[in-house]
A and B are shown apart, each in its own frame.
Chain A
């Protein structure tokens, strides 16, 4: 079943066009990754799916429903959760309060159960539960951002560069958990990454984006093996 379908999506920041007709699809139970260089429009695509900025043309369907014109908070209530770029934690609120905010769109009766679930995924958050979000380390903050998004029991989880600025060991851990969320809790994941190597390894399928367009797509393995992808994103530019 198709969870997310993006058709001919255009978006712009004022006069500057960022997306030039994007088509992509995410099926239930998949991890789909979107890789591309800085400024390719990856984050813009993610944010347009969430309704901010609005698409100037094209449409976004979520579970068969057109969500292109819905306000951002409505989209969340449909089951799309987002761990936004830059994490955007509430730095003066404690870890548990951040998680409570993540559960705004969920049934409050599930809270304890969901809390237990994310604490099992990220045991460090249990230890830090009373600490203010702003005092966590970078890795812990990223874990909290993902955990917060999971508290809403999303059907689709959108992750924007979860590995950004993290040490290699932490990156590995973050990706391990994404895989676990996907395999065990059957959460469909749409992952935007610059760290193509890791992202393609855990993804079922991938898209490559450049200058606001999808230039390549295929399974994770295919893309990892693709000469063009290797040259542009994996072996480093010369």
Chain B
């Protein structure tokens, strides 16, 4: 250990205590509302239960944790390591051994688990510091390291992509995969696809679209209405739904694409709401808030995924001579989602290398320069908008066919916000970043459903953490689309902006 080589600064106790006290205070304020009261559904008893002991406990933990971080900053890693490790081991052991919940800090396994995780992270950080005896790396250094890493990831994407794809294909046959996990994976795949679709608009063309869910809704309702009224199948309707959504994109884009930045964002936000409200109120056409049900399921090349084959036909299992298993349909839907996402990805990768894709990126950087080079700004933006919308429409059709039931409730602003969060947090324009962010934002909260009401808290925490550590997104790195022979390696430093 080389810890002695690092100069030991005097530990500023009053300041650290004051800081930790303030953090604890904030936590108390937040926790009173979040944890302090609980509505009980027991009949007869009082409707509210008070849990101020939980509030005190969480404040105490925040106080100690903050003190630990301050100590880490002042190179006092060893005591923090010991303290955090003991705490983490004790809590984890208690959780694993299934101690009586009343004896632990909180009555929620999820919250205890989160705190144990935080303690583990803190001890890992302390251990790292003890091991390297290094001072806390500066923010810039850390940023540069993450940038290098994300550049590396992009360079690896040659084999990371296929690897992830292989994993995705093999997923349904992994031993520990059950129906629930497969459903989550399908959901994640849907959001990856939507993220990639929105990435064309936001990441490549730089048009902030807060109403992406409108195109998702148009796609879903297009499919549902076509299928219900004209008895058309999923595969026939899919391109129609995409075209309808693209048409909606052009319809919206034509008047508003001369707006920039915040103004465009507000108009698209409004459009999203308009579509939802039309769906809600046009009762004759959309069945309003009651929604549309009985939307047909997709077929496997014309073979329905049902137990009993239709008259004079085959169903999937009878055609292949298999035993009927309900999970087949889940697996099929999962593969369908993966396939749709893959199409979106391949399309994006390809179009980035074409003049139109390059024009999108150039337009994002400097619209004036683009115009002076002969790019038609409105048409270029319109194509981005329409193509992004088209993939939103595909996503919507898939959603409709998977759920079998749609109503305007599924197309609220929150959906737009989540999809946008996936794109922004993943790193604008980064394809793998979208995958990562979708898994983080959609997959984790679903997996941790046990956290109950803290699930959205986890979503929020994930967002805050990413935004603090990686303000430009997890994998913010742009790989050039043209390569000529073997050039010198790209220098990585921020250049002057002309």
Interface residues of A (CB under 8 A from B): 50, 52, 71-73, 76-77, 81-82, 84, 86-94, 96-97, 100-102, 104-105, 108, 127, 129-136, 138, 141, 148-149, 152
Q: Give every chain A residue within 8 A of B481 (Cβ-Cβ).
A: 97
Q: Give every chain B residue within 8 A of A89 (Cβ-Cβ).
A: 366, 369, 498
How many whole Å from A8's CB to the nearest CB in chain B? Answer: 24
| Cross-chain contact of A72 among B361, B372, B478 (Cβ < 8 A) | B372
Q: Give every chain A residue within 8 A of B365 (Cβ-Cβ).
A: 90-93
B312 close to A (CB within 8 Å): no
Q: Give every chain A residue within 8 A of B12 (Cβ-Cβ).
A: none
Q: Which among B366, B370, B497, B498 has the greatest number of chain A C-beta atoms within 10 A?
A: B498
A-B contact pairs, 9 of them (CB 8 A): A73-B374, A84-B368, A84-B369, A92-B365, A100-B482, A129-B484, A135-B495, A149-B373, A152-B373
How many whole Å from A108's CB to the nearest CB in chain B? Answer: 8
Which residues of B (374-433) have their CB < 8 Å from a CB of A? 374-377
| Cross-chain contact of B488 among A71, A96, A97, A127 (Cβ < 8 A) | A127
The answer to whether A104 touches B374 (Cβ under 8 A) is: yes
The answer to whether A141 touches B498 (Cβ under 8 A) is: yes
The answer to whether A101 touches B482 (Cβ under 8 A) is: no
The answer to whether B377 touches A73 (Cβ under 8 A) is: yes
> How many Å lie between the Cα of A44 and that of B268 in the bound state?
34
The answer to whether A152 touches B374 (Cβ under 8 A) is: yes
The answer to whether B498 touches A88 (Cβ under 8 A) is: yes
- Closest partner residue, chain B, to A87 (CB atom): B498
Q: Give every chain B residue within 8 A of A76 (Cβ-Cβ).
A: 371-374
> How many Å lie between the Cα of A100 and that of B375 in the bound state?
12
The answer to whether A96 touches B482 (Cβ under 8 A) is: yes
The answer to whether A130 touches B490 (Cβ under 8 A) is: yes
The answer to whether B373 touches A93 (Cβ under 8 A) is: no
How many whole Å from B349's CB to the nearest CB in chain A? Answer: 15
Nearest 8 pairs between A and B by C-beta?
A76-B374, A130-B487, A105-B374, A134-B495, A135-B495, A88-B369, A94-B480, A87-B498
Q: Give every chain A residue within 8 A of B73 (Cβ-Cβ).
A: none
Q: Give every chain A residue within 8 A of B498 (Cβ-Cβ).
A: 86-89, 91, 134, 141
> How many Å lie between the Cα of A152 and that of B372 in the bound state?
11
> How many Å lie between the Cα of A177 and that of B208 in the bound state?
41
The answer to whether A88 touches B495 (Cβ under 8 A) is: no
How many whole Å from B154's CB to the nearest CB in chain A? Answer: 14
The answer to whether B373 touches A102 (Cβ under 8 A) is: yes
Q: Give every chain B residue within 8 A of A108 (Cβ-Cβ).
A: 355
Q: Give every chain B residue within 8 A of A88 (Cβ-Cβ).
A: 366, 368-369, 372, 498
> How many Å lie between the Cα of A114 and that of B454 in the bound state?
60
Q: Give every chain B residue within 8 A of A71 (Cβ-Cβ).
A: 376
Question: Knowing A86-B498, A134-B497 touch, does A104 contact B373 (C-beta < 8 A)?
Answer: yes
> How many Å lie between the Cα of A92 and that of B484 in the bound state?
18
> How many Å lie between the Cα of A127 and that of B484 in the bound state?
11
The answer to whether B488 touches A90 (Cβ under 8 A) is: no
The answer to whether B484 touches A101 (Cβ under 8 A) is: no
> How many Å lie between the Cα of A131 and that of B371 in the bound state?
23
How many whole Å from B354's CB to the nearest CB in chain A? Answer: 10
Question: Knowing A73-B377, A92-B478, A129-B487 touch, does A136 contact B355 (C-beta < 8 A)?
Answer: no
Which residues of B (444-498) have their CB < 8 Å from a CB of A? 478, 480-484, 487-491, 493-498
The answer to whether B358 touches A50 (Cβ under 8 A) is: no
Q: Give every chain B residue within 8 A of A82 (Cβ-Cβ).
A: 372
How many whole Å from B408's CB to the nearest CB in chain A? Answer: 39
> How many Å lie between the Cα of A86 and that of B496 in the bound state?
12
How many whole Å from B225's CB to the nearest CB in chain A? Answer: 39
The answer to whether B480 touches A97 (Cβ under 8 A) is: yes
The answer to whether B368 touches A73 (Cβ under 8 A) is: no
Q: Which among B371, B372, B481, B497 has the greatest number of chain A C-beta atoms within 10 A?
A: B372
> How many Å lie between the Cα of A96 and that of B491 in the bound state?
15
Question: Knowing A90-B365, A129-B484, A132-B490 touch, does A73 contact B495 (C-beta < 8 A)?
Answer: no
The answer to whether B373 touches A101 (Cβ under 8 A) is: yes
> How many Å lie between the Cα of A127 and that of B485 in the bound state?
11
Q: Give every chain A residue within 8 A of B377 (Cβ-Cβ).
A: 73
Q: Which among A97, A130, A138 has the greatest number of chain B C-beta atoms within 10 A?
A: A130
The answer to whether B490 touches A105 (Cβ under 8 A) is: no
Q: Give every chain A residue within 8 A of B483 (Cβ-Cβ).
A: 130
Q: Give every chain A residue within 8 A of B359 (Cβ-Cβ).
A: 101, 104
The answer to whether B366 touches A90 (Cβ under 8 A) is: yes
The answer to whether B493 touches A135 (Cβ under 8 A) is: yes
Question: Knowing A89-B498, A132-B495, A135-B495 touch, does A84 contact B372 (C-beta < 8 A)?
Answer: yes
How many whole Å from A78's CB to the nearest CB in chain B? Answer: 9
How many whole Å from A80's CB to the nearest CB in chain B? Answer: 9
Q: Which among B374, B478, B482, B496 has the greatest number of chain A C-beta atoms within 10 A?
A: B374
